[in-house]
Amino acid sequence: MSIESGDIVRAAEVSQYIFVIVTAASAGTQRSSSEPLWRALWVFRFASVGYAAFRLAFVDGDEYSQPDWAWVVIAVMAAWTIGTTIAYARPDRRSPPLLTADLAVTVVLLLSTTALQYPSGTMHGALPVTATWMAGPVLAWAIRYGRRAGAIVGLIVACCDFELLRGAALSSALNGAVLLLLAGWIVGHLARLAAQVETERQHAIEIEAASRERERLARGIHDSVLQVLALVQRRGAEAGGAAAELGRLAGQQEAALRALMGEGWAGHRETGEADLRQLVQPAQTDRVTVSVPAQPVLLEKTAAAELTAAMRAALDNVQQHCGEQARAWVLVEDESDLIRITIRDDGPGIPDGRLAEAAAAGRFGISHSISGRLRDLGGSAVISSIVGEGTEVELRLPRTASIPVAATPGTA
C-alpha cells in the first residue's frame, strides 16, 4: 500500500469524525441537552470498534507482526466501550477519575501498536490498532467539560498518535493530530451551546408558568378585591365626611391594582440603569431622614425599583406599627460589591415571635414585600429589633446578584 493510499485511509478517518460531530450537532439542536451528545459518542465508539476490527481483518492484517495480540486489543476495546457506555449513562459518574481512566486506557491501547505492527506499517498507511476509536476520550472530555478540555485531551492523544506515525509522511501524521484537536474543540463548543439552549428553554418555561399563575391571580383579584374597592369608593363618596376620604383611598388602590394587572403581570422589565438615589430621596419627610452617597448609585432599573419598593414597605411598617410620630432614618451605602440600604426607627420594637405569627396569619408585609423582593433579586434582608429600642432593617443586594426573569408586578 502506497503513501497516497494511506492518505485515502486518513480520509476515511476524517469521515468518521465528521459523522459523529454532525450527529451530535443535530441531536443537540433537537433535544437542547448534552444527553444526545453522549448517545452519539456511544454510537461512535461502537462503530469505531467495528471499524478497527474490519481493518485488522481485511485491510491492515499483513502489517501486523502480532495479529493474535492485536485481536486481544480489539477485544479489550470492545469490553472497555461497553463498560464506559454503562458508566457514562449516569451523569453523576461522568467525573474526572473515570474520564482520566478512559484517557489512560485509550493511550495504552494506542501505543500498543508499536509492539503489534511491523515498523514499516505506518509508512504503508496502516492505522494504529485502535483506528478512530482513540477519539473517544477526546469527545467525552469535550462533552463533559467543554471545548478547552476537549482540545487539551485531543492534543494529548494527538501527540501519542504523532509519535506512532513518525515514519509516515508528515502530512499524513498531521492529519490525525489536527482532526483530534478539531473534534475536541467543535464537540465541546456544541456541548456548551446545548447547555445554553437548555438554560434558555428552562427560563422560558418558568416565565410561561409564572405568567399563567399571574393571570389566574389577576382574575381572582378582578372578581373580588377590585369589586370591593369600587364599592367602598362609591359608598364613601355617597356618605361624605371621613368616609369620603376612605373612598378616595380605596379608589387609588383600585387604580393601582388595575395598573398592575394591565402592565406588570406579563413579566415586563425595563432595561438600562437608574440612579438609586433619585428613587430613594423622595421618601424623605419631616419624620424620615434619607442619607445617600454623593456619587450616583447606578443599578439595573428593575432591581433599583424592587429595592426601593422594599425600602418603602419597611417605612410603611414604621408608620403603621409605630405611629405617625415615629421617626425613621434611611442610609444608602454603595460598596464595591454590595449595595446596602438600612432603615432604622425609634419605635417600640418587634416582640420575639411576632413576625412568625404575622406570616402564619397571612400578613406578608415583611416576608413578601421586603424579604421576598430581596430574595428574588439574589440579595437578603436582615431584620433586627430590640423591644423598646426600635427596629433596624438592612437590605443587602450584591452587585453580582442575578436579576429575576420576571419582575414583581408593577415595580418596573
Can you tell me the distance from the alpha carbon of 369 to that of 374, in angstroms, rounded to the nearest whole number? 9
pLDDT in tens, the chain (412 residues): 333 444 444 444 544 554 455 444 444 443 446 888 999 999 999 999 999 999 999 998 899 999 999 999 999 999 999 999 999 999 999 999 999 999 999 999 999 999 999 888 877 778 899 999 999 999 999 999 999 999 999 999 999 888 877 655 566 667 778 888 998 999 999 888 888 888 888 888 888 887 788 777 777 776 678 788 888 888 888 888 888 888 888 887 777 777 666 554 444 455 578 899 999 998 898 889 999 999 999 988 888 988 998 998 888 888 877 877 789 999 999 988 899 999 999 888 887 766 666 655 555 456 667 888 888 888 999 888 888 888 899 999 998 754 443 333 333 3
User: Rounded to an integer, what distance in angstroms lies between the CA atom of residue 159 and that of residue 174?
Assistant: 10
pTM: 0.55
Domain boundaries, the chain: 3-201, 268-412
Pairing of strands 390-398, 298-300: unpaired
**Are 145 and 188 within 8 A, CB to CB?**
yes
Is the domain covering 268-412 a CATH 3.30.565.10 domain? yes
pLDDT recorded at residue 141: 96
d(CA 260, CA 281): 24
Predicted confidence at residue 210, as pLDDT, reads: 79
